[in-house]
Amino acid sequence: MDWYSSIFELIDMRSFSNLWFWIALAVFWSSASHWVIGVPFDMVLRARRVGGQAEHDLETITRVNVNRLLYIARVSGIWLLGFSCFMLSGLAVLGFWYHVEFAQALLFLVFPMSLVGAMSLATARRIEQEAATGELLRKRLARHRFFTQVIGMISIFFTALWGMYQNLTIGVLGS
């Protein structure tokens, strides 16, 4: 028996029938909802409960991350936007025109995250414009996390629907 075929039998290389894809999807969205604009959400909760130094730490780390995001957007935002659109459209063409399942899976991961990235940039701009601190800052971060979770739930739902469709179609065609 060939070891190469044994490994590929053990690890199914089709994306939507692979357990590792679904684990990665869950970890991906869990991390995205925990790290709000680069700030761990437990800091927001601790600042709300404790205040004082925890509040100051939250404001400091948020200021650093907001400045970092806005600097990147101002310096190379157009290039990043162009590259992102190129990659997303390339994945869409490969996935849905040429029926490459791996490209479909990547698109289902990356496209919603690009929406979260745009939302992060908008939230960072808003925090900077308002010079948000204290309760307003916590409100902005909590709202951002809520909408990230909404995008994540919708993404997981449609990924699961498409994945089931792919598995049923390939299962029927493969038989």
61: its two tokens:
């780390």
**Number of Cα atoms under 13 Å in the Cβ half of residue 140:** 26
Question: Contact at 8 Å (CB) between 62 and 39?
Answer: yes
Residue 93 identity: V
pLDDT digits (tens, 9 = 90+) for 75-88: 999 999 999 999 99
Q: How far is CA 120 from the centre of its chain?
A: 11
pLDDT digits (tens, 9 = 90+) for 6-62: 666 555 557 787 888 899 999 999 999 999 999 999 999 999 999 899 999 999 999
**From CA 155, how far away is CA 157, in angstroms rounded?**
5
Cα angle vertex 114, ends 113, 115, to 5°?
Answer: 85
User: pTM here?
Assistant: 0.85
